[in-house]
């Protein structure tokens, strides 16, 4: 199979072995074999974030946004509120979910180029004792900004609220320790950090909190956390049909995850990111986010003002040579992202930079890159 290198923030580049693992004879998802694999991967989902027996993984069929949806629609009681800390496009999506379900929430907005202001969070909790859930994105995947979820969680606990974090772009990418960091809920998806196929997402959360949700409002039939959990607890099965072939790819991806190791994997993503960052800086490109705030896994590169710059031409040139880019339009500027997720290493980044540079030359974009101010 032709290998393509995805500089996307998910779906990530997968290995040949993970791709092939999903080709299996047709099988009922209710067969013991599939149920055993689901049991096993659920335990791994907790282990990846260093959770003990007091944590449980609840998987469901869907992309990462469903994990956000499950948490938000299930964790807020009828007299409580969610506090959504918004400093980017993904936390803004959480606002959209609350709006859609009519969940009572407070939106605390920050500029998109800085991490969350902790003092403002604490003041909000002081003023509103009915806040039950404090929600933030760990990494805002558009800007590459990392938010201090450990501190946010401890502030939440001080005011009897729970800390719920969108870790979709950091889970199995960088080390996360839910026990040490006192994280109540976090999230993962198969096409992101674990480098498998799209199809399964999950919430890892404190069992004791989920057990208490029984009488909370059921705002969704398909994606209520308590209902999904109950089926797993009492019947050992996912409530609805799992994406069986995807589950096989996950099993293989997890075997490769443990083989590579948490620290090695994180170091690999970081070194790919460093090569990309140095390469684009050498060409004179600017990143949207201050370098000191970057997570080390996503770059949001500002498009130049050169009149020959044509993103789609650059994209198509790279695409034809096996490299996938991801455009983003946010705030006032145009940018494109280079994410170093997935089964890639520095050699891929070096090869990409060569192709990218040729694309600039062939389309007549001046290097060093020009920005008007």
Ligand X SMILES: *Cc1c(COP(=O)(O)O)cnc(C)c1O
Instruction: List contacts with ligand X (CB under 6 A).
Output: 9-10, 63-65, 90, 137, 141, 166, 168-169, 189, 192
146 versus 210: smaller Cβ distance to ligand X? 146
What's the min distance (Å) between Cβ of 236 and ligand X? 27
Report the alpha-carbon angle 166-171-173, nearest 5. 135
CA separation for the pair 160, 156 (Å, rounded)? 6
24 versus 293: smaller Cβ distance to ligand X? 293
309 versus 341: smaller Cβ distance to ligand X? 341
257 versus 326: smaller Cβ distance to ligand X? 326
Cβ-contact 168, 188 below 8 angstroms? yes
CA separation for the pair 73, 143 (Å, rounded)? 26
What's the min distance (Å) between Cβ of 330 and ligand X? 13
- In the complex, residue closest to ligand X by CB: 64
Contacts of 262 (CB under 8 A, 6+ apart): 48, 175
Strand ranges (DSSP E) for the chain? 5-6, 55-61, 81-86, 105-109, 131-137, 139-140, 145-146, 162-166, 185-189, 200-206, 298-302, 323-324, 326-330, 333-339
Structure letter (DSSP) for residue 154: H
What's the min distance (Å) between Cβ of 57 and ligand X? 17
Cα within 13 Å of Cα(202), Cβ side:
33
What's the min distance (Å) between Cβ of 191 and ligand X? 7
What's the min distance (Å) between Cβ of 64 and ligand X? 3
- Give the residue carrying structure tokens 């060409």: 283
What's the min distance (Å) between Cβ of 97 and ligand X? 11
- Residue 199, Ramachandran bin (φ over 0: left; ψ between -120 and 50: alpha; else beta): left
145 versus 272: smaller Cβ distance to ligand X? 145
Q: Which of 95, 71, 68, 69 is nearest to 84 (CA)?
A: 95
63 versus 244: smaller Cβ distance to ligand X? 63
């Amino acid at each position: 199979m032709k290998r393509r290198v995805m500089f996307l923030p998910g779906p990530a580049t997968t290995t040949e072995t993970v791709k092939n693992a999903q080709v299996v004879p047709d099988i009922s998802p209710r067969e013991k074999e599939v149920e055993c694999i689901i049991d096993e991967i659920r335990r791994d989902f907790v282990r990846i974030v260093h959770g003990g027996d007091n944590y449980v993984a609840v998987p469901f069929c869907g992309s990462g946004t469903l994990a956000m949806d499950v948490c938000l629609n299930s964790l807020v009681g009828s007299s409580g509120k969610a506090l959504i800390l918004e400093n980017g496009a993904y936390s803004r999506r959480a606002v959209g979910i609350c709006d859609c379900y009519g969940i009572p929430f407070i939106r605390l907005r920050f500029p998109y180029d800085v991490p969350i202001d902790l003092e403002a969070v604490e003041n909000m909790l002081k003023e509103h004792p009915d806040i039950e859930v404090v929600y933030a994105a760990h990494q805002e995947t558009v800007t590459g900004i990392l938010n201090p979820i450990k501190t946010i969680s401890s502030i939440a606990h001080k005011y009897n609220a729970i800390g719920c974090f969108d870790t979709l772009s950091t889970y199995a990418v960088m080390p996360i320790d839910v026990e040490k960091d006192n994280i109540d809920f976090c999230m993962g998806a198969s096409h992101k950090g674990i480098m498998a196929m799209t199809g399964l997402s999950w919430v890892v959360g404190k069992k004791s909190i989920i057990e208490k949700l029984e009488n909370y409002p059921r705002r969704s039939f398909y994606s209520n956390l308590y209902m999904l959990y109950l089926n797993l607890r009492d019947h050992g099965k996912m409530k609805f049909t799992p994406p069986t072939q995807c589950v096989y790819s996950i099993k293989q991806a997890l075997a490769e995850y443990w083989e590579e190791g948490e620290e090695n994997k994180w170091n690999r993503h970081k070194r790919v990111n460093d090569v990309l960052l140095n390469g684009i800086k050498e060409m004179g490109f600017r990143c949207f986010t201050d370098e000191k705030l970057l997570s080390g896994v996503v770059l949001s590169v500002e498009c130049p003002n050169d009149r020959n710059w044509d993103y789609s031409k650059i994209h198509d040139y790279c695409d034809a040579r096996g490299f996938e880019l991801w455009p983003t339009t946010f705030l006032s500027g145009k940018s494109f992202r280079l994410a170093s997720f997935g089964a890639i290493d520095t050699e891929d980044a070096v090869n990409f930079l060569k192709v990218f540079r040729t694309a600039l030359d062939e389309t007549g974009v001046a290097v060093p890159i020009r920005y008007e101010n």
